[in-house]
């Protein structure tokens, strides 16, 4: 229970908030009990994202996964938009092996080492968690 005193237009009001459930508050104003609908302010979150223009100027760096050089892992949770390699393909360090959509951005997932793709662990449209194996490469 919270009590407040307000002065509005020279008139004093004693307001007690008796309860609050969902968007309805039960309040007592100068001894009179009322149910009041409360509209809560919606919190907005601004996310700064780099603007990418195809073919224009420098582009954001490719996402570099963590882990051992042969195991390419997802650096964040998302959806596999495309797989750019297949088992048996030869790849170079820095080559894009998959596109991962995360937070409405497409991220190129790059090989960390030169080698041959031994195993592709994902398919297009698959949801992956951070740290999930995407491909395994052996030199």
pLDDT value for 12:
87
| Cβ count near 28 (within 10 Å) | 15
What is the pLDDT confidence band of residue 85, given thresholds at 50, 70 and 90? very high
Domain of 7, in residue numbers: 2-37
Question: Residue 7: what pLDDT?
Answer: 86
Could you report the per-residue pLDDT of 106-117, keeping only the tens digit for each?
999 999 889 999
Regarding whether 124 and 76 lie in a shared domain, the answer is yes
Query: What's the confidence (pLDDT) of residue 65?
Result: 45
Tracing tokens 């760096």 back to the chain, one arrives at: 61
DSSP code, position 16: E
The yes-or-no verdict on residue 83 having pLDDT over 70 is: yes
Split into its structural domains, the chain has a count of 2
Please check whether residues 30 and 79 belong to one and the same domain.
Answer: no
pTM of this structure: 0.51
In a domain, 50, yes or no: no
Question: Residue 4: pLDDT above 60?
Answer: yes
44 within domain boundaries: no
CATH code, domain with 94: 2.40.50.100
Domain assignment present for residue 105? The answer is yes
45 located within any domain: no
- Which residues pair with residue 83 across a beta bridge? 98
pLDDT in tens, 22-81: 788 888 888 888 888 877 666 666 666 666 555 555 555 555 444 555 789 998 889 999
Q: If we measure between CA atoms, which residue out of 70, 75, 82, 38 comes closest to residue 139?
A: 70
Q: Is residue 112 part of a domain?
A: yes
Q: What pLDDT was estimated at residue 5?
A: 86
Residue 52 lies in a domain: no
């Amino acid at each position: 229970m919270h009590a407040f005193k307000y002065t509005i237009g020279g008139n004093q009001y004693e307001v007690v908030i008796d309860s609050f459930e969902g968007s309805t508050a039960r309040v007592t104003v100068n001894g009179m009990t009322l149910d009041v609908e409360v509209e809560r302010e919606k919190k907005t979150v601004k996310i700064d994202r780099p603007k990418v223009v195809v073919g224009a100027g420098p582009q954001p760096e490719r996402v570099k996964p963590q882990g051992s050089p042969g195991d390419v892992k997802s650096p964040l949770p998302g959806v596999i938009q495309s797989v750019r390699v297949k088992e048996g393909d030869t790849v170079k360090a820095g080559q894009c092996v998959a596109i991962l959509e995360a937070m409405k951005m497409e991220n190129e997932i790059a090989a960390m080492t030169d080698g041959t793709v031994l195993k592709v662990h994902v398919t297009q449209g698959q949801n992956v968690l951070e740290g999930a194996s995407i491909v395994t490469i052996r030199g």
